[in-house]
């Protein structure tokens, strides 16, 4: 992981256990922060606003602040990708993954984001 004052790059792999119905991240938005993905291998599926698309190896996608989005592994195989985010989004993800709290909507709100679907 690369962390600096203005962005964080996380290197992640989904083993193939997610889908459109069980996404890596359910529908949400970030009010003040953009977010981007670069797929190294496999395919990610995205809902961005009212559209769906798949992003394969060597491709990227940018989601602008204020845009509802969700994403998942679009294959049953592992998908390896880079997630480029602001430090605030990184803090949100850390808070969600800590397992210390279950009030997800409140955690999103504390990070200038909104959970739209669980």
Is the pLDDT confidence value at 104 over 80? yes
Q: What is the pTM of this model?
A: 0.93
**CA-based nearest residue to 109, from 31, 52, 50, 39:** 31
17 vs 74: CA distance, rounded Å: 10
Tell me, what's the pLDDT at 118? Answer: 59
**Which fold, 2-115?**
Jelly Rolls (2.60.120)
* Per-residue pLDDT tens over the stretch 9-55: 999 999 999 999 999 999 999 999 999 999 999 999 999 999 999 99
């Amino acid at each position: 992981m690369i962390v600096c004052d203005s962005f964080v790059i996380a290197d992640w792999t989904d083993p193939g256990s997610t889908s459109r119905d069980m996404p890596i991240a359910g529908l949400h938005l970030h009010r003040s922060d953009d977010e981007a993905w670069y797929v190294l291998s496999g395919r990610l599926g995205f809902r961005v606003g009212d559209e769906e698309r798949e992003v394969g190896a060597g491709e990227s996608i940018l989601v602008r602040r204020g845009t509802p989005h969700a994403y998942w592994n679009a294959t049953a195989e592992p998908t390896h990708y880079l997630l480029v985010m602001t430090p605030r989004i990184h803090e949100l993800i850390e808070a969600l993954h800590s397992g210390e709290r279950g009030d997800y909507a409140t955690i999103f709100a504390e990070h200038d984001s909104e959970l739209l679907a669980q």
